[in-house]
């Protein structure tokens, strides 16, 4: 039984043969979960994200057990359940241990049907692909009805209900959190709060810093900023105010996007890549300093462990994506470079190529397939 955010999913019983036996007789490139993905023409951005999702253990169990079939939303007019079906089919191929590499042609065709930028052979942004894919997967599985008494809800709970339309999904329970945005008048100290859901955090890198820490990026994001001309409802006039963000609901899987690309005004706004070397923790990422008071009182864990990284090498004109993932079965890190999968020393996980970080607060879970 898998339980995520209070929702239980029945998983298949483990087979009599354990993975440790297979790992001793199968070549590395044919280990379960160690299957590469062919590059179908600048699809490394897609391959990188799919390998990171494939190593999200709870999602993989959900797909391989076929439990997702019980929750497909056929009334979803956007993607009609097609995206989750293709993602699940691909994850099964990545985990059956029969192939050195497979091709994601069917999934690529489906996502191209629903989003034109993914049809051709141009390089795309892995963060944009991930954000759109998360939205599609949530819509495909948004069938879990949630009954709540609206009159007893807090403001954050009402905002969450409005976002979900009283229907949730496994994707929502795993990847989505909620942000509280508070605006405070500097004159009368009147506060106004709004809430918004997120599937990943997009953090700026510190300017003029070749080497920086993830904590610096977090501090910049959550420190607050001064805004001008806010219509204060108490002062009845425009005032300066402080706008501050706090996390009101932490997701079990926290995805952190680093804003490496920016428009350079001195060069006709051409996009430039920031090559900062970012130091980020592999273990014990502490999120307690960045959460709202209500969330801080909740009993949910607030410490995260890294399990996957989507990397970008090169520039906007000629870049390449890979993934670093920690195998739940081997307990070791591996590099996924399209069709090639190799072992990775833990000391090499942190690099200047890191673009999207995948953290989990869920307890370790070994795939029994």
The DSSP call for residue 288 is G
| Catalytic residue list | 44, 320
Whole-angstrom distance, CA of residue 163 vs CA of residue 6: 19
Q: Which of 321, 351, 348 is nearest to 336 (CA)?
A: 321
Residue 336: C-alpha distances to residues 101, 246, 280, 292 (Å): 11, 34, 20, 37
Least confident of 55-59, 194-198, 346-350, 363-367: 363-367
Residue 329 is predicted with a pLDDT of: 87
**Cβ contacts of 238 within 8 Å, gap of 6 or more:** 228, 229, 230, 231, 232
The DSSP call for residue 31 is S
Supply φ then ψ for residue 108, to 5 degrees.
Answer: -60, -40
Residue 149 is predicted with a pLDDT of: 72
Q: Is the pLDDT of residue 12 over 60?
A: no
C-beta contacts of 156-161 below 8 A and 24+ residues apart: 156/180, 156/195, 156/248, 156/249, 156/292, 156/294, 159/194, 159/195, 159/196, 159/197, 160/195, 160/197, 160/249
Residue 152 is predicted with a pLDDT of: 80
Q: Is the pLDDT of residue 19 over 80?
A: no
Least confident of 28-32, 357-361, 363-367: 363-367
The helix (H) or strand (E) run that includes residue 114 is helix 105-114
Residue 189 is predicted with a pLDDT of: 94
User: What average pLDDT does the segment 12-24 reach?
Assistant: 28
Least confident of 110-119, 215-224, 262-271: 262-271
Residue 325 pLDDT level (bands cut at 50, 70, 90): very high
Residue 269 is predicted with a pLDDT of: 66
Q: Is the pLDDT of residue 316 over 80?
A: no
Higher-pLDDT residue of 148, 305? 305
The DSSP call for residue 172 is H
Q: Is the pLDDT of residue 151 over 90?
A: no
Q: Is the pLDDT of residue 62 over 90?
A: yes
Residue 367 is predicted with a pLDDT of: 53
What digits encode the pLDDT tens for the residues 179-236? 999 999 999 999 999 999 999 999 999 988 899 999 999 999 999 999 999 999 999 9
User: What average pLDDT does the segment 58-74 reach?
Assistant: 95
Higher-pLDDT residue of 67, 315? 67
Domain boundaries, the chain: 31-143+155-360
Whole-angstrom distance, CA of residue 19 vs CA of residue 25: 10
The DSSP call for residue 13 is P
Burial class (CB in 10 A: 0-12, 13-18, 19+), 175: buried
Residue 22 is predicted with a pLDDT of: 26
Class of domain 31-143+155-360 as given by CATH: alpha beta
Cβ atoms of residues 258 and 279 within 8 Å: no
User: What average pLDDT does the segment 9-25 reach?
Assistant: 30
Residue 304 is predicted with a pLDDT of: 96
Q: Assign 3-class secondary structure to 116-146.
A: HHHCCCCCCCHHHHHHHHHHHHHHHHCCEEC
Residue 365 pLDDT level (bands cut at 50, 70, 90): low
What digits encode the pLDDT tens for the residues 276-290? 999 999 999 999 999
Question: For 24, how many CA atoms within 13 A lie in the half-sphere containing its CB?
Answer: 5
Bridge-based pairing of strands 319-326 and 303-314 is: antiparallel
Write down the mean pLDDT value for the chain.
Answer: 87
């Amino acid at each position: 039984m898998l339980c995520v955010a209070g929702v239980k999913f029945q998983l298949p019983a483990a087979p009599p043969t354990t993975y440790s036996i297979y790992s001793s007789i199968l070549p590395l490139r044919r280990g379960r979960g160690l299957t590469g993905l062919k590059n179908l023409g600048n699809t490394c951005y897609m391959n990188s994200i799919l390998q990171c999702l494939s190593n999200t253990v709870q999602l993989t169990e959900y797909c391989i057990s076929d439990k997702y079939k019980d929750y497909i939303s056929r009334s979803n007019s956007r993607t009609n359940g097609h995206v989750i079906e293709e993602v699940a089919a691909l994850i099964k191929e990545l985990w059956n241990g029969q192939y050195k590499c497979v091709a994601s042609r069917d999934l690529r065709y489906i996502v191209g049907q629903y989003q034109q930028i993914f049809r051709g052979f141009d390089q795309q942004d892995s963060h944009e692909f991930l954000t759109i894919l998360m939205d599609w997967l949530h819509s495909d599985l948004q069938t879990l009805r949630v009954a709540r008494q609206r009159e007893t809800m807090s403001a954050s709970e009402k905002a969450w209900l409005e976002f979900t339309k009283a229907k949730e999904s496994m994707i929502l329970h795993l990847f989505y959190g909620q942000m509280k945005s508070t605006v405070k008048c500097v004159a009368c100290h009147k506060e106004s709060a709004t809430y918004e859901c997120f599937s990943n955090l997009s953090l700026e890198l510190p300017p003029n810093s070749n080497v920086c820490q993830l904590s610096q990026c977090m501090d910049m994001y959550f420190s607050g900023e001064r805004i001008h001309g806010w219509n204060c409802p108490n002062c009845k006039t425009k005032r300066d105010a402080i706008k501050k963000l706090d996390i009101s609901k932490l997701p079990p899987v926290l995805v952190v996007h680093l804003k490496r690309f920016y428009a350079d005004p001195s060069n006709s706004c051409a996009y430039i890549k920031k090559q900062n070397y970012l130091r980020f923790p592999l273990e014990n990422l502490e999120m307690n300093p960045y959460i709202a008071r209500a969330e801080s009182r909740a009993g949910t864990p607030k410490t995260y462990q890294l399990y996957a990284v989507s990397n970008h090498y090169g520039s906007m004109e000629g870049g390449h994506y890979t993934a670093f993932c920690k195998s739940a079965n081997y307990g070791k890190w591996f590099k996924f470079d399209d069709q090639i999968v190799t072992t990775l020393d833990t000391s090499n996980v942190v690099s200047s190529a890191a673009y999207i970080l995948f953290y989990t607060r869920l307890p370790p879970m070994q795939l029994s397939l």
